[in-house]
Amino acid sequence: MRDVPIIPMGDDPGSTPAGPVVSARPWQSGGRLSSTGAGPGNRMADGAERFLAAAGFDRAPWLAVLFMGGILAWFALPLAWHWVAAMGAGGAAALAAALVWPSGSERGDARVHLRLALIAGGLVFAAGIAVIWARSEIVGTPPIAAPRVELMEGRVLEREDQPAEERIRLTLAVRLAEEGQVAEARKVRVNVPLEALTGSAAGPALAEGAVVRLRARMMPPASPMLPGAYNFARAAWFKGLAATGSTIGPVELVSPAPDGGTIARLQRALAAHVRERVDGSAGAIAAAFASGDRGGISETDEVAMRDSGLTHLLSISGLHVSAVIAAAYFAVLRLLALWPGLALRVRLPVAAAAGGALAGIAYTLLTGAEVPTVRSCVAAMLVLFALVLGRDALSLRMVAVAAGLVLLLWPESAIGPSFQMSFSAVLAIIALSNSAPVRAFLAARDEPWWGRAARRVVMLFVTGIVIELALMPVVLFHFHRAGIYGALANVAAIPLVTFVAMPLIALGLLFDLAGAGAPFWWAVRQALDLLLAIAHITASQPGAVKLMPQISGTVIALFAAGGLWLALWSGRARLWGLLPVALASLFAALTPVPDLLVAGDGRQVGITLNQADGTRRLLSLRDSRSSYARDNLLELAGIAAEPVPLAKWPGARCSSAFCTLTIRREGRDWTVLMARSRDRIEERALAVACGRADIVIADRFLPRSCRPRWLKADRKLLERSGGLSINLADQRIDSVAAGEGSHGWWRGEGGAATPPRAPSGHQ
């Protein structure tokens, strides 16, 4: 509906109106409404209305933010009564707004707008909590009680080829029974080495719908190793996985997959076809672009793409879906325009939008229909719908509708980096393009073509920098590392992928139907080799990667609040968003590096030490072969150099059973005693050693006679607390359990008990 001006009537119909022109939608047009009365509520409403009108307030994006806020509140609050209380608070806010500003206020009164905004906001926030709570109860699957070896027979639900790891990954529906209980259907995920596939199991018959028999070592989905580490148990809960593991011995194919093509089979066949045409790393990336299959990408290339800020190009998301839909849209539009009779009778943009929509949906299904791809496809469909209606295709309302729909269907995606990064990038692009300086910079003017091209290139670079700045807090919070030169790398890599590699892959597949695709695949190889060269060169530069210890939830909340304020307001009001961003940046820079990192099983311990040259090193209790454990310790300590085994450190004293190290912090010496094996120790000697230590860490139960001066982190405590992050200067302990509460995926009993403070005279 268009804004309709209300013009006060004067004595002379031809005279200029004496009163102000008032818009029926003041918050979007900038007009001002007066409200009746002069009470405090009215004055507050008038002041709020004036601010909202000047700042370009639009309810739709903020409702999406509040819905997501309710979802995140459910994850952040630990106990069920907290969730009920938060829902009650949202309902109470809506009720209070209805009571303070009754519905009898005249239409157009600012109080009516505030009343509706507060009622809707409170109810939407409560709905967010209710939706994620219901989703957790419906899809969540309790994990198996303990590790075990199981002979299983199950139906294949999903097969994922991972040639780079020389294995396949099967998701199976099996029947499992806990001790003393009746067997019930459960979903498990099993890694199968390629050498375990023999006979008919090595062929295409091992696909979705097949029945297999195998013996596997099964584990409950792993909780975070340390506070801030990846929470696989939470991800598995929402995927319905009860266990994960690996096979022991060969896999027997009981019955093959039913005949008939499926999307999953087509996806695997397409990936194999592309890898046959383009070998090496370039072929693995081409297969990822064509089918979404990333299993062939080597770890070295994955790391280079990640550290160069280009890893987003490997997962099918907004960039790839948009490129496919845009190509289909313009191809259909140009082809239909060649038919004059049709062009005169049909709205070609509508037909082109339909063609683009079909191409986008087909590409989404072909690449596996993962949540990020579906989310991008939904957003693209809304953009096409807006184009058909003649509306602004790239607007905050379109983003809000897409986000709301995704959160309604997959509310758990709000806690993941994929959702947060993609929508942060889109919001940054829209906010930048709508800002007055950018509009003035890109405004049409009389200039040569190279001047327009130069301004576009500058704008592309500026957009890359803004996107990197918008994404960096999210990346650092989830991954504890970010590529510093990502903006520069993306300026070259995104056009290379969008306008060169992906069109060439499409042409190669098309011409392969006639056996003439070889020239296109050669060009694909050159383009993707160039992409990998950009990634490796960028990642190898000094200072290319910024490492950050785990930043707090308060810091990331400040970043989010500031970023949303900058994106969703307009005019000078948006500049207030720089204040929380500046505070969050300061707090992030001051984030302390933990002195001790203790894994939940007590076997992996990392100790950070400051060296004389100002650098930090990480000492590890065990020289683990697990890259997962090593990477977690390094990332959460914010250290790039390889860890040093504690037994090889000059200041440590190690026996076959224990290691002892003294750490000096803030003028105090802290003695740490760590168990490195399960050798039996005479209890009296152990009690004496514990009494001389401030902290004792062990992966086994220690007797009550072991009483260190500050903290005993043995198996009894770690089973309740999970992994620990210890800051000695502040005498602060963060635990995994503290952030898990009573959510279904957490198997512990609660957080670690707060240890007593060290004696003031302790040296």
pLDDT digits (tens, 9 = 90+) for 394-407: 678 878 888 888 89
Assess whether 601 and 732 both reside in one domain. yes
Phi, psi angle pair for 44, to nearest 5°: -65, -40
Assess whether 186 and 102 both reside in one domain. no
All residue ranges of the chain with pLDDT < 50 are 1-38, 105-108, 751-755, 757-763
Assess whether 253 and 158 both reside in one domain. yes
Q: Determine, yes or no, domain membership for 440.
A: no
Residue 722 contacts residue 600 (beta carbons within 8 Å):
yes
* Alpha carbons 669 and 547: distance in angstroms, whole number: 28
Give the domain-ending residue among 569, 589, 609: 589
Q: Determine, yes or no, domain membership for 237.
A: yes
Give the domain-ending residue among 226, 260, 294: 260
* Alpha carbons 51 and 115: distance in angstroms, whole number: 16
* Alpha carbons 18 and 660: distance in angstroms, whole number: 86
Residue 656 contacts residue 679 (beta carbons within 8 Å):
yes
202-246 pLDDT per residue, tens? 777 888 889 999 999 999 999 999 998 999 999 999 999 999 999
Assess whether 726 and 608 both reside in one domain. yes
Going by C-alpha positions, the residue among 725, 237, 728 that lies closest to residue 752 is 725
* Alpha carbons 227 and 223: distance in angstroms, whole number: 10
Q: How many domains does the chain have?
A: 4
Q: Determine, yes or no, domain membership for 466.
A: no
Question: By three-state DSSP, how is residue 86 classified?
Answer: helix
CATH of the domain at 220: 2.40.50.140
Assess whether 76 and 210 both reside in one domain. no
The per-residue pLDDT for 83 is: 95
Assess whether 124 and 198 both reside in one domain. no
Task: Please identify which residue in the block is written with the tokens 């009215």.
Answer: 42
Q: Determine, yes or no, domain membership for 217.
A: yes
Assess whether 102 and 207 both reside in one domain. no
Q: Determine, yes or no, domain membership for 323.
A: no
* Alpha carbons 454 and 56: distance in angstroms, whole number: 31
Going by C-alpha positions, the residue among 462, 469, 463, 501 that lies closest to residue 484 is 469
Q: How far is CA 265 from the centre of its chain?
A: 28
Q: Determine, yes or no, domain membership for 52.
A: yes
Report CA-CA distances (Å) from 548 to 186, 328, 351, 478: 38, 42, 49, 10
Q: Determine, yes or no, domain membership for 358.
A: no
Assess whether 585 and 616 both reside in one domain. no
The per-residue pLDDT for 42 is: 59
pTM: 0.84
How are beta strands 695-697 and 668-675 bridged, if at all?
A: parallel
Assess whether 561 and 606 both reside in one domain. no
Going by C-alpha positions, the residue among 119, 16, 104 that lies closest to residue 59 is 119
Assess whether 168 and 122 both reside in one domain. no
Q: Which residues contact 125 (CB under 8 A, 6 or more apart)?
A: 66, 67, 69, 70, 73, 86, 90, 93
User: What DSSP string describes 237-303?
Assistant: HHHTEEEEEEE-S-BEEEEPPPSS--HHHHHHHHHHHHHHHS-HHHHHHHHHHHH---TTS-HHHHH
- Long-range interactions of 45-54: CB distance < 8 A, separation 24+: 45/101, 45/109, 45/110, 45/111, 45/114, 46/110, 48/110, 48/114, 49/110, 49/113, 49/114, 51/573, 52/27, 52/113, 53/26, 53/27, 53/29, 54/30, 54/571, 54/573
Assess whether 220 and 105 both reside in one domain. no
Residues, the chain, total?
A: 763
Phi, psi angle pair for 368, to nearest 5°: 105, -10
* Alpha carbons 308 and 716: distance in angstroms, whole number: 42
Residue 32 contacts residue 39 (beta carbons within 8 Å):
no
Which residue range(s) make up the domain with 562? Answer: 553-589
Residue 589 contacts residue 558 (beta carbons within 8 Å):
no
With residue 331 as reference, give the H or E element that holds it.
helix 318-337
Q: Determine, yes or no, domain membership for 494.
A: no
Give the domain-ending residue among 108, 139, 170: 139
The per-residue pLDDT for 122 is: 92
Assess whether 619 and 714 both reside in one domain. yes
510-534 pLDDT per residue, tens? 899 888 889 999 999 999 999 999 9
